Structure 1
Amino acid sequence: MAFTEHPLRRELVHEMHLRRFAPVHAPARIVQMVYLIAEDRRGEEQRHLSSLPLKPVSIEQESRHAVLRFAGDLTVLWERHTEATTITLIAPREGQDAMAPLTEWFGAWPGSVLRATKVFVEPGEAEAEALLPEMGFEDADLVSCHVCSGVRVWSDFRIRDDGYGRLLVSAPGRQPDDLGRIVQRLQELGNYRNLALVGLPRVQRLMPELNALEDRLAAHAQALVNEAEGGDERLLHDLSQVSAELAQVRAENSYRTSASQAYAQIAADRLDALDVQPIDGYQSLTDFTERRLVPATRTIETFVNRLRRLSERSGDVIALLNTRIDTRIKAQNLELLRSMESSFNLQLRLQNLVEALSVIAASYYAVALIAYMAKGAVGFGEEGHEVDVAIALIAPVVILTIFLLVSRIRHRFIKETENAAARSDKRHPLNDA
């Protein structure tokens, strides 16, 4: 090629063609099953996919999609989703007996069935209405409407004794590829609707727990207003416990609630794409879907919003409590500083008193020294005053010695202090800047 291709270009183009449905030739019978499969069981799924009960005529298999064609115009579609797997069997009306080994193979698939549907596709409305008695639909729950400009569907979306739901479709004048796309949209609507509803029971079970956490948080917030400062540590512990429980609920359910909201949006998109036209006397797909899916989606959305707001409120209350604790600590530090200041003032007054007394003592000793030297001066050269002369001579030497010793000690202390300060400045990182 004369141009540089983006490394993801072919992967993205392939993604656009990945989920094509096989052509459906009316009259046809379709069996589709949706399995929820844990990630650690994906290996089992691959092994089961390779253990076919019939020998296929052709196989088109990729990492997440496969098309298997068998004799008698039987087609099996396998598609792997993020957390689910869809398996579809398409056969002509006359080939229903040949479907039995493959439907049994479907039933042994790893995982748990989320949705299982048998779709009956007829070329005309009269042929479809002739099958209505054997469908066993509940009249009170029957949904019937036109979709995609002329295709009519019937279903009550109930599970029969064999574990399958029933969907009846009449598609006059539709080409196989077009009819395949319509059946795919109809099935995806139901599949994504069920996937969206998976999160509802969990949310409903968590609502009482969320109510209890909300009550505890309100009680702790009220205690923050009413209680004395002595209980702040206990209150902080209780609030931290509530906050931890909220975080745990949020972490354990965030994926499921987010996935439910995403699936609900996809189901709504599929419903819009079907262009539903109501029929008098019947509820339409829009009525059936919105009457059930919209309240469930709003319940999940309400749960998510409540959980988020409770987490924010818990953080706000903890922040207020921390502010009060910090304020109290600062007040205690201020009282400590005031006490230290009072002690320093007292020590200063005592020091002043000691200095005043030291002046008296120094004066006394100075007078005594002067007296000794005066006596020595008077007695110099006279007999009997040798001791006084010796004291007079020694006194200046002692004073000078003590002065020099004190000065040396003082200078040594000052030098050591300056050296220590210099070493501290060199280690400080701000001095390099």
Structure 2
Amino acid sequence: MHNEVHARASSIRSLPVRASYLALALAGEEKLRERQHLVALCQRYGVAPPDNDADHFGAVFDAFQMSWEQHGEFSTYTFYAYDSESEPFSEPALKKVPVDWLANIGGQTMVAAHASVVAAADTDYQDGMDLSSLSAYFAGNSIVGSKVTGGAASVFTDFRIHVDGFSRFLVVDQNLKTAQAGRLLHRLFDIEVYRVLALLAFPIARKLYPELKKADRQLYAITNSMTQPDADDAKLLDELTALAAEVENHISSHQFRFAAASAYYHLVGQRLEDLREARIQGIQTLGEFIKRRLEPAMNTCASTSHRFNLISERVSNASQLLRTKVDIIIERQNQGLLSSMALRAKMQLRMQQTVEGISMVAITYYAASLVGKIAEACMARAACRSGNCRGRSDSVHFYRGRPRHQTHPPHYRKHDGLMKYPEPMAWEFIARFILRRPLANAVKLSISTSAPLFEKAPKGIKGVGGDCSNKLPSITLFQRARQV
């Protein structure tokens, strides 16, 4: 980390010098092949190759000097040649490099530039002279330029690509030192490559402008529909979700390019400040030219990126409002549903309490009746055992094959000379209580509710206690209970 401040030093050996600059866009695999290609050049000239983790390298070969730098999106090659020629751009430094090695360089060329540092006497340059003679070095094009590095040199260019595919920079040495010349060339090449990289976002911004207007109109239509009382919230939410997905797709696809363009434009401004330009009468400075052409494009890119972010925020706000509206409607529906459920639960509770009250009354009534009937039967049985059952009617109780007399309660009444029981349903309830035991041990009693209760008893059956021995049941109570 300490040596990072000394990295990428722009050092040239002497003046005058000619330089050729290449900036290549490389993918992941191409970067690996680039390093191998660089190692092959070093082996060809017997020069120590760069380390495997190095991102910059410089070496002097037989007829040229080379500097290599690897950046995030691109790699740069700068070639220097020191033999003087009559014309600044007639024999560029790139011709000193082996042709077969240049042909196999991978990647896509982004920037290609030639620069020549010549003495003022070689070009007959003087302050205030007619600059039309310098236009001949740029194919007659209009030139821009300025005094740089405190007046130690003058820089001229036309910012055009010539027939050989390279742009041109002419540096007139008036009082340059060698280190100053190296830094000056480095700044000029940085301005060129960063200017081109910043402009990569401009075609994208122009392409996205119709999409931006379309998204803006869709958002306006959706928000306008949200204010209508009969709007279909589900449909609006679907449209808003689709619009949000489309806008976020554009942002995620191009946000990196717009952010990189802003960073590169900032670097261009820094390099222009480092030149310390001074105006040459009659022509634009490099900073003025670049600012006039580059700034509108950068403003367009920044505006497009900002408007997409703004639309994304507006879509998010509209989605939140619409979801809030839908949530309120759902909460109202849930509140009504809970109210109806609470009312039904309250009605069910009241019905349950009523049924429980009625059940308690019924159970109490039947329990009291059962206890009363059992008590009467027990009293009648006790009276019969004591021999005080005369005047009562008995029924024969067959139990396990042996007849047994049972005295009827005293509330029997006579009907046509016979005893008639007035409450058959009560006896049926008692029969249900008595007949809980198995059928094999069932007790058979005879009670007739629609005919005379007693008939003549068969011979051999004798009653106990008076005239109850001549009566025999005709219908079994067991059968009557089963009918019930």
Q: TM-score range by the shorter chain?
A: 0.7 to 0.9
Distance in 2 separating the partners of 1:48 and 1:70: 15
Q: Taking structure 1 as reference, are residues 163 and 265 closer, same or farther at Cα in structure 2, changes over 3 Å only?
A: same
Alignment of 1:295-374 (within 5 A): 295-358=296-359, 360-374=361-375
Distance in 2 separating the partners of 1:357 and 1:304: 78
Quote the offset at 1:13 in angstroms. 2.1
**Residue 42, structure 1, aligned to residue 31, structure 2:** yes
Partner of 1:136: 139
- SS of the residue aligned with 1:160? coil
- SS of the residue aligned with 2:227? helix
Q: Answer whether contact 1:375 1:388 (CA < 8 A) is retained.
A: no
Partner of 1:67: 58
Q: TM-score, normalised by structure 1?
A: 0.79
Partner of 2:288: 287
Q: Answer whether contact 2:141 2:158 (CA < 8 A) is retained.
A: yes
Distance in 2 separating the partners of 1:156 and 1:134: 10
2:77 to 87, 99, 102: 87
- SS of the residue aligned with 2:67? strand
Partner of 2:215: 213
Q: Answer whether contact 2:23 2:109 (CA < 8 A) is retained.
A: yes
Distance in 1 separating the partners of 2:233 and 2:50: 64
Q: Taking structure 1 as reference, are residues 287 and 131 closer, same or farther at Cα in structure 2, changes over 3 Å only?
A: closer
Q: TM-score, normalised by structure 2?
A: 0.71
Distance in 2 separating the partners of 1:118 and 1:47: 26
Quote the offset at 1:160 in angstroms. 0.8
- SS of the residue aligned with 1:79? strand
Q: Answer whether contact 2:39 2:49 (CA < 8 A) is retained.
A: no
- SS of the residue aligned with 1:178? helix
Distance in 2 separating the partners of 1:68 and 1:387: 138
Q: Taking structure 1 as reference, are residues 60 and 46 closer, same or farther at Cα in structure 2, changes over 3 Å only?
A: closer
User: Which structure has the greater CA radius of gyration?
Assistant: 2
Distance in 2 separating the partners of 1:99 and 1:314: 54
1:30 to 19, 26, 48: 19
Q: Answer whether contact 1:48 1:109 (CA < 8 A) is retained.
A: yes
Distance in 2 separating the partners of 1:245 and 1:251: 10
Quote the offset at 1:242 in angstroms. 1.6
Quote the offset at 1:58 in angstroms. 4.3
Distance in 2 separating the partners of 1:387 and 1:83: 120
Q: Which residue identity is paired with 1:309?
A: L
Q: Which residue identity is paired with 2:259?
A: S
Alignment of 1:176-215 (within 5 A): 176-215=178-217
Q: Answer whether contact 1:53 1:102 (CA < 8 A) is retained.
A: no
**Which 10-residue stretch deviates more, 166-175 or 204-213?**
204-213
Partner of 2:165: 163
Quote the offset at 1:61 in angstroms. 2.7
Q: Which residue identity is paired with 2:19?
A: I
Partner of 1:408: none
Partner of 1:127: 123
Q: Which residue identity is paired with 1:193?
A: R
Distance in 1 separating the partners of 2:337 and 2:200: 60
Between 1 and 2, higher relative CO (CA 8 Å, sep ≥ 6) is seen in: 1
- SS of the residue aligned with 1:94? coil
Distance in 1 separating the partners of 2:323 and 2:109: 51
Partner of 1:237: 238
Q: Percent identity?
A: 28
Q: Taking structure 1 as reference, are residues 377 and 111 closer, same or farther at Cα in structure 2, changes over 3 Å only?
A: same
**Residue 118, structure 1, aligned to residue 107, structure 2:** no
Q: Which residue identity is paired with 1:148?
A: T
Partner of 1:417: none
Partner of 1:410: none
Partner of 1:102: 97
Q: Tell me, which stretches of 5 or more residues in structure 1 are unaligned?
A: 1-11, 402-433
Partner of 2:228: 226
Q: Answer whether contact 2:22 2:112 (CA < 8 A) is retained.
A: yes
Q: Taking structure 1 as reference, are residues 128 and 236 closer, same or farther at Cα in structure 2, changes over 3 Å only?
A: farther
Quote the offset at 1:101 in angstroms. 5.0
Quote the offset at 1:191 in angstroms. 1.4
Partner of 2:66: 76
Q: Answer whether contact 2:20 2:93 (CA < 8 A) is retained.
A: no
Partner of 1:20: 9
Q: Answer whether contact 2:19 2:93 (CA < 8 A) is retained.
A: no
Q: Taking structure 1 as reference, are residues 147 and 137 closer, same or farther at Cα in structure 2, changes over 3 Å only?
A: farther
Distance in 2 separating the partners of 1:202 and 1:93: 44
Q: Answer whether contact 1:39 1:83 (CA < 8 A) is retained.
A: no
**Residue 254, structure 1, aligned to residue 255, structure 2:** yes
Distance in 1 separating the partners of 2:339 and 2:268: 70
RMSD: 3.0
**Cα shift readout 1:116-165 (whole Å, capped 9, x = no counterpart):** 111121121661756541321422xx211111111111111001111111
Q: Answer whether contact 2:117 2:171 (CA < 8 A) is retained.
A: yes
**Cα shift readout 1:341-400 (whole Å, capped 9, x = no counterpart):** 2212332343344345435533542452244134225423234383768x99x98xx79x
Distance in 2 separating the partners of 1:294 and 1:387: 126
Q: Tell me, which stretches of 5 or more residues in structure 2 are unaligned?
A: 86-90, 126-132, 396-405, 410-425, 437-484
Quote the offset at 1:293 in angstroms. 2.2
Distance in 2 separating the partners of 1:306 and 1:314: 12
Quote the offset at 1:226 in angstroms. 1.8
Distance in 2 separating the partners of 1:284 and 1:320: 53
Distance in 1 separating the partners of 2:256 and 2:281: 41
Count of residue pairs the alignment pairs up: 382
Distance in 1 separating the partners of 2:213 and 2:258: 18
Partner of 2:444: none
Distance in 2 separating the partners of 1:175 and 1:332: 84
Q: Answer whether contact 2:59 2:65 (CA < 8 A) is retained.
A: yes
